[in-house]
Every structure is written in structure tokens, then in C-alpha cells.
Structure 1
Amino acid sequence: MSTTTIPVGSDYDVTVGHGVLDQVASHLRDDTMRVLVIHPEPLPQYGQAVAAALRATGREVLVESVPDAEPAKTIEVAARLWGVLGQAGFTRTDAVVAVGGGSVTDLGGFVAAAWLRGVDVIQVPTTVLGMVDAAVGGKTGVNTAEGKNLVGAFHPPRAVVCDLDTLSTLPHADLVAGLGEVVKGGFIADPVILDLIEADPVDATRVGPRLRELIERKITVKANVVAADLKESSLREILNYGHTYGHAVEQAEGYRMRHGEAISIGMVFAAELARLAGQLGDADVARHRSVLTALGLPTTYAGASWDRLLTALRRDKKTRGATLRFVTLTGVGQPTRLVGPEPAWLEAADAAVRA
């Protein structure tokens, strides 16, 4: 089947297609002689498939498994992988290949960014979330007890390879959760995404042409944004729509909630906050709930207290001093920012999410 190439500015390309795992080697530099392939423990088949293709080119390949999902994103796991690189004598011309979901691509990118102050990384996402968000854009990092992704680096990959065949083994709940980030792309930049989901939300959750179009559209949204603003100095902040509250929920839940589910809740919070601030109309707020609900994503939260969530919000990367900042909307496809919202608005938005 055909492949789609989506450029991220002039820096690198994202390849999307079926049966493209063996294309990873073609993206390495000619003088790359050693490669570390990282994969989550439940997915050895994809890591080994990539490793076999790399060995066929005559390169030395090491394969390391890491914990699944957020438990992979710790400084302890990263340190173990740096030890592997050091013992194998990896130099600045060698590379890391991260095969797995968003947690593995975040981890692999961070390991590559820090080793010798930066070696090549090729991202091979195997989940919807990884394909449309984590693997694209060069954000890497690990979690700490104080919050999600507070330790990391901007380190653009050499390439991103998205093999849609890997989605066939993805649990349905994980596929649906990944669509939370796809919906975000619809609300901040590409309303056609929302139209496609609303036309047939069940088909949107199946591996097929509609899901492929949704994935490619969301990758294009992110590629356009990060190409213009790699280090989140201005425009790139819009990609954090729903993340401020969503990350607070993730932290409160001990990272046991799927990222896309938390972001779904976070988008509802952001929409309610924008309505209270006079930025967003009732119909657009209602559309948030209807689109997300149609996919089976959560739109309410009744867990940690507001005080606990507020503590996490104050540690958010967008906060400046004591001033909270949120990405909000004035309409579909019209992102803006809300700086220093009234405390009463924040509490009311939280209450609306709990209703």
C-alpha cells in the first residue's frame, strides 16, 4: 500500500503507511554503526523486527526492553539505558531507535538527547497517541513525583516511522484514548477532524481508511505548529490545549489513567473555563462533550480534590511565577490564551467537570 510523507519543516519527515518497519534503516546516517533499539516489555515482536532489519544492513544492534506505559518514564530507567550506551561504546554518530507508545518515544528521545549531549533518535510509534503526538515534535522527557514531563529536552528526531499495521495489536481502549489527542487537533486547528468523527464515530475507532485520515490530519497539525515553533516560545503552546488540567489529573491518579482520557477531561475543563471567561459559546462547549462521548472518552472527573489539582496546576510548564496560563478557544480552530483567570472561574470550571 502507499505511504504518506509529512514533512516537519525542513528538519525531518514522518512516514505513515502499512508494513514500513523495515524502512527505519534507510533513515540512519551512513556512518551510524551502532543502534540501541528500545521497546516496551509487552511488544518484543516490533522491537525485534526493527532490530532484524537494522542488522541486515551490517550494523551492531542492541535491544533493550523497558516497562510499559508511564512506568518507563523515570530517571532510573533512563540511567540504565545510558549505562548500556556507555558499556557498548556508543559515539556521536550512533543512534537510538524507540519502538512503542508515547512513553517509550518520550523516554528514547530523552536518552538520546542527553547521551553525549545529543545523538540521533528515530521514533517508531506503535500507538495512535504515539503517532499523532508524542513521537512528533522533539519533546522528550521523564516524569518525577512533582509532575509529568518536568524533566526533559527538546530533541527533534531524525525521522518518525508510523507503521499502521502495529495498531492491529493495540487494545481498543488504548486506541480510543489516543483519539483524545486527535480530537484536540480538531478543536485547535482542523475542524474536518471533528466532522469525520461525528459522521461515524464507530468507524473512527477501527483500523481503516477513516482512522488513517484522522491520524495523518493530526500529524499534519502538529508538524505545522512545531516547524514554526520548536521550543514552545509562542505558537506551540496551542498544542497544550486540555493538558494543564489533564496533566494535573494524571498526576493525581498516579499516572494510572490513560493520557488521552485525562486530556479529554482537560479539554472539557478548558472549554468550561473559556465559557466562564466569555471566550467560548455554549454550542462549542457542548460539542466538546458530544464528540468525546461519541468516541467513548470521559468528560467528567470525580477523583482528587480541587485543592490538590490546583497545586499541580501551579507547577504546569506554562505557569509564569504565580500566574496560571491556559490554552483556550474563542471558537473551533481559534486557539488563544487565558492568563491569570479569576479563581472563581477555575473553581466553577472544575465543578462543571465534576457535575
Structure 2
Amino acid sequence: MKVATHVVFAECCWFAASAVFDVHYETPSVLAAAVCSILPDADYPKSWLGHQLGAPSQWLHERFGHRSFLHSFVALLLVTALLGPLLWFLVGHPAPMVAVLVGYGSHLFADMMTLGGVQLFWPSRVIAVFPGRDEYRVVSGGNSERVFVAVALVLALLFYPVSRAGFDGLLHRMAGSDALYGEVVSVTDGDTVEVRAQNLTTQVRLIGVDTPETVDPEGPIGCFGPEASEHTKRVLREPQTDAEGDVLRPGRLVRLEIPRIGDSEDAYGRTLAYVWLDADGEGGEYEHLFNEDLLELGLARTTTFSHEYRREFERAMEEAKGEGAGLWGACPTVENY
């Protein structure tokens, strides 16, 4: 099969695997899957990779032949063991190691679907093919390969949004949410505020984030809790002014996004919502998600329950954690705050 076929199929497999197994990834993982999807062809001098390698490819071909050692479970495990931990160390996340496994494995599976098959159980000379009947397998370079890559491309495009949002996130987005517009009138702590909307004051608990405690009468003040609380007060209680500097309203205008799936209130009767910030001071644009800000700044952890932006929030938290931002750098016992 051609290089493009293997790369497209690898990304299809990677997006599918990350969606099913809940793997959070960034660009390095996508690149790792693509690169590793062409590595097995190093044993074929006439392939694109073999041509780039030159003499080493010729040596591999003479020593092992095509679709033998480099197209086996042994090579799959060896490459994953060598490249995976290195990429994990460089990126600081295990996703690239999984991408190596998926990308390399996708090449083996794709070649199993050709007429020639592969020596998957090398050093055994048994040829592994799938499916069993020749007429259902792909002819390299023929129309069947073009159909194969077209189907893989369509599947990759379908799996991509699922891999980014997760099945649960996609389900929440399909179900939609209700919007409530109002003004923040007070801040309880980092993740709890009061919003006046439709002449009613509603206590709102931010979905998906958990800042350190500052108001729990039965517990101590959490590490970095005052900083998180102060940030929420500074952003959401910032007075809105006009061009002359006159105060229009004492608190920030927000749009509350309340999911239609799951509970709309927590155990304390607080409305569960995403808080979108007013960008122009006039209530015309709400494009900034405050919940995510807390995670990016290291002022909160994510919660574990399913919701629309769970994967985005987890990625934001992992990035902040890797940078030692906020509580991740200041609190030695952060897991127990």
C-alpha cells in the first residue's frame, strides 16, 4: 500500500482508539501515529521510506525480506518499547506512546488486508491475512486500495470530533443546553457565584471544576483557595463601565449554559452551569468560558463526572499541571486539597 493510505488509515485508527479508550492527546500524538504507520516499510527498498533510507533498507530486505520481521508482533512491541517511553518523557504525557502502538499496528493490519498478507507471528513463516477470502482483500495500487483509503478518510473525519469531545461530550452537545443571561451579584468562592437573572438571584456552581475550599465551616481553608476565590471575584465582580468610565453595572454580564442531560442542580440546590463571559460589556458576545480559565491558570482541578467539555477541561488541567501553574506548583499535597 502507498504511504498516504497507511497514514490516513493510521489516523482513522488513532481517532477511533482515542475515542473508545478515552485517550487525551495533542498534536505530537497525531504525528507519532502518522510517522509510525510507515516505519514497517523500512524493509522494502522500493517503498518511499526504503528509498529515503537507502542502504539500511536494502540490508533489512536482504536480512529479513519484506513483510516479515518488521511486520510482526515482535517488531510492534519492540518499536513501542523503544519509542513510546522516549516520547512520553519528551511530551510529559502517555498519549504519544499509545499513538506509536496504534500507528505501527495499523500498518500491520492494513497489510494483512492485502493479497500478500504479513508474517505477523515472525519468526514463524505463517502468513496472516484478513479477511480469509482473496476476493475481499485489497489489491495494492489498484482500485480497491483507492476505495480503502477513501473509506478510511471518511471514518477518520467522523471519528475526529468524537476523539476530541468523547462519546459523552458528543452526547451532551447533541442534546443541547438552555441559556440564561444575567449579572453576577456575588462570589461565594472560586467555583460558586450568585447570578441575578429574570429578577431572580440564582446560586450557580460551575460545572466541571473544583477550586480549593474557602468557606466550608467543617474544614480548613484549602491550599490556593484564597487565590482562586480572589480571581473569581476580580473577574466576575469587575464593574462594567461605559466609554466615559461611568459604572453601568456592578458585576459581570454572563451567559449560563445549563445542560439538558443530567441533573440541573447539585446536592445543595445550586444550579450547575457553564459560565460564559460577556466580551463587549454590552451583552452582545459570550465566547469566553470562565470554567476553563480556572483550569488553565491552575486554580482548580477537573471533576470526574461526565459532561460536555470534560475532555477539553482535562487537557487544560494537564497542561497547567505540566507547567506547575497555580496550585500545581504551590501546593505540595495538591491531591488532598
TM-score of the superposition, structure 2-length normalised? 0.19
Larger Rg: 2
TM-score of the superposition, structure 1-length normalised? 0.18
